[in-house]
Structure 1
Amino acid sequence: MSRNLQTVKLSTRLLVAGVPLALASFMAQAQISDGVVRIGILNDQSGPYSDLAGKGSVEAARLAIEEFGGKVAGSKVELVVGDHQNKADVGATKARQWFDREGVDAIADFSNSSVGLAVQGLAAERKKITLVAAASSEFTGKACTPYSTQWVYNSYSNGHGLAKMLTKRGYDSWYLMTVDYAFGHAFAADIRKTVTDAGGKVLGEVKFPLNSPDLSSYLIQAQNSGAKVVVSASAGSDMTSTVKQAAEFGITRKQSLAAPAVFITDVNSMGLKSAQGLQFLTAFYWDRNDQTRAWSRKFFERRKAMPTMTQAGVYSAVRHYLKAIEAAKTDDGTAVAEKMRELPVKDMYTDNGWIRADGQVMHDMYLVEVKKPAESKGTWDYYKIIETVPAKEAFQPLTESACPLVRK
Structure 2
Amino acid sequence: MRKTMAMSVLLLAAAPATAQISDDVVKIGVLTDMSSLYADINGPGAVVATQMAIDDAGGTVAGKKIELVNADVQNKADVAATIAGRWYDSEKVDAILGAGGSASSISGSRVAADKKRIFFATDPASSDITGKLCNAYTVHWVYDTVALANGTGSAVVKSGGKTWYFLTADYAFGHALERDVSAIVTANGGTVLGSVRHPLNTSDFSSFLLQAQASKAQIIGLANAGGDTINAIKQASEFGIVKGGQKLAGLLVFVSDVHSLGLERTQGLQLTEAFYWDLNDSTRAFAKRFAAKMNGKMPTSIQAGFYSATKQYLRAIKALGTDDADKVMAKLKSSPADDEIFGKSVIRADGRKVHDMYLFEVKKPSESKGPYDYYKLLATIPGDQAFRPMDKGDCPLVAKK
TM-score, with length taken from structure 1? 0.90
Per-residue CA shift, 1:60-97, capped at 9, x if unaligned?
11111122211222222111112222222222222222
- Which moved further from structure 2: 384-393 or 15-24? 15-24
The question of 1:400 aligning with 2:389 is answered no
Distance in 2, Cα, partners of 1:180 & 1:323: 38
Q: Which amino acid aligns with 1:339?
A: K
Q: Which amino acid aligns with 1:100?
A: D
SS of the aligned residue for 2:338 comes to coil
Equivalent residue for 1:288, pick from 276, 279, 291: 279
SS of the aligned residue for 2:359 comes to strand
Q: Which amino acid aligns with 1:167?
A: V
Match of 1:11 in 2: none
**Contact kept? 1:158, 1:281, Cα under 8 Å:** yes
The question of 1:196 aligning with 2:186 is answered yes
- Structure 2, unmatched stretches of 5+, are none
Distance in 2, Cα, partners of 1:121 & 1:208: 26
- Please show how residues 9-408 of structure 1 align to structure 2 within 5 Å: 23=12, 26-133=15-122, 134-223=124-213, 225-253=215-243, 254-304=245-295, 305-408=297-400
Distance in 2, Cα, partners of 1:227 & 1:74: 60
Structure with max Cα Rg = 1
Q: Which amino acid aligns with 1:397?
A: P
Distance in 2, Cα, partners of 1:32 & 1:184: 39
Distance in 2, Cα, partners of 1:334 & 1:249: 53
Q: Which amino acid aligns with 1:286?
A: W
**Contact kept? 2:128, 2:393, Cα under 8 Å:** no
Residues 169 and 327 of structure 1, relative CA distance in 2, 3 Å threshold: farther
Structure 1 residue 328, shift from structure 2 partner: 1.9
Per-residue CA shift, 1:101-136, capped at 9, x if unaligned?
222110012122222222212212222111112112
Q: Which amino acid aligns with 1:93?
A: T
Structure 1 residue 374, shift from structure 2 partner: 1.7
Q: Which amino acid aligns with 1:158?
A: L
Distance in 1, Cα, partners of 2:59 & 2:117: 21
**Contact kept? 1:345, 1:354, Cα under 8 Å:** yes
SS of the aligned residue for 1:353 comes to strand
Q: Which amino acid aligns with 1:67?
A: D
**Contact kept? 1:111, 1:135, Cα under 8 Å:** no
**Contact kept? 1:244, 1:275, Cα under 8 Å:** no
**Contact kept? 1:233, 1:259, Cα under 8 Å:** yes
Distance in 2, Cα, partners of 1:136 & 1:367: 19
Q: Which amino acid aligns with 2:254?
A: F
**Contact kept? 2:151, 2:358, Cα under 8 Å:** no
Per-residue CA shift, 1:182-209, capped at 9, x if unaligned?
4322211222221111112234434444
Distance in 1, Cα, partners of 2:331 & 2:152: 32
Count of residues in Structure 1 that have an aligned counterpart in Structure 2:
396
- Which moved further from structure 2: 86-95 or 200-209? 200-209
Q: Which amino acid aligns with 2:63?
A: G
SS of the aligned residue for 1:346 comes to strand
- Structure 1, unmatched stretches of 5+, are 1-14
Structure 1 residue 317, shift from structure 2 partner: 0.8
Structure 1 residue 349, shift from structure 2 partner: 1.5
SS of the aligned residue for 1:405 comes to coil
Structure 1 residue 162, shift from structure 2 partner: 2.3
**Contact kept? 1:39, 1:107, Cα under 8 Å:** yes
Residues 223 and 302 of structure 1, relative CA distance in 2, 3 Å threshold: same
**Contact kept? 2:77, 2:107, Cα under 8 Å:** yes
**Contact kept? 1:344, 1:352, Cα under 8 Å:** yes
Distance in 1, Cα, partners of 2:105 & 2:169: 21
Distance in 1, Cα, partners of 2:199 & 2:313: 39
**Contact kept? 2:118, 2:137, Cα under 8 Å:** yes
Structure 1 residue 221, shift from structure 2 partner: 4.9
Among all aligned residue pairs of Structure 1 and Structure 2, give the percentage whose two residues are the same amino acid.
Answer: 48
Q: Which amino acid aligns with 2:339?
A: D
Distance in 2, Cα, partners of 1:245 & 1:278: 16
Distance in 1, Cα, partners of 2:223 & 2:361: 17
**Contact kept? 1:252, 1:277, Cα under 8 Å:** no
